[in-house]
Amino acid sequence: NVIGEPVDEEGPVDGIEMRAIHQPAPSYVEQSTEAQILITGIKVLDLLAPYARGGKIGLFGGAGVGKTVLIQELINNVAKAHGGFSVFAGVGERTREGNDLYHEFIESGVN
């Protein structure tokens, strides 16, 4: 939920550090100047439109073209390759998609 409590009825998440969302930006000395590509595991993206690791992307498209499916595949591939936690934040109708996404990941075994 919006205050960081799990809603999956699996109990609290242990061993995490809670931080405020407003943090000072890292200094330029701490940041890497080396450009790296995020290997998504989706061949057409990795070849034709590679994403910068640690960067931001915009995903635009009309209704029904597969934006949510692409997000699901990205989360799935990154989770399998690197582990960790995935966060899907949705507003309005996207909250329904977030719930569907959560249940699909449980069914497919993505943790």
Known catalytic residues?
67, 93-94
What dihedral do alpha carbons 17, 19, 24, 28 form, nearest 10°?
A: 20
Q: What are phi and psi of 61, to 5 degrees?
A: 175, 160
CA distance 23 to 39: 28
Question: Is the CB of residue 108 less than 8 Å from the CB of residue 14?
Answer: no
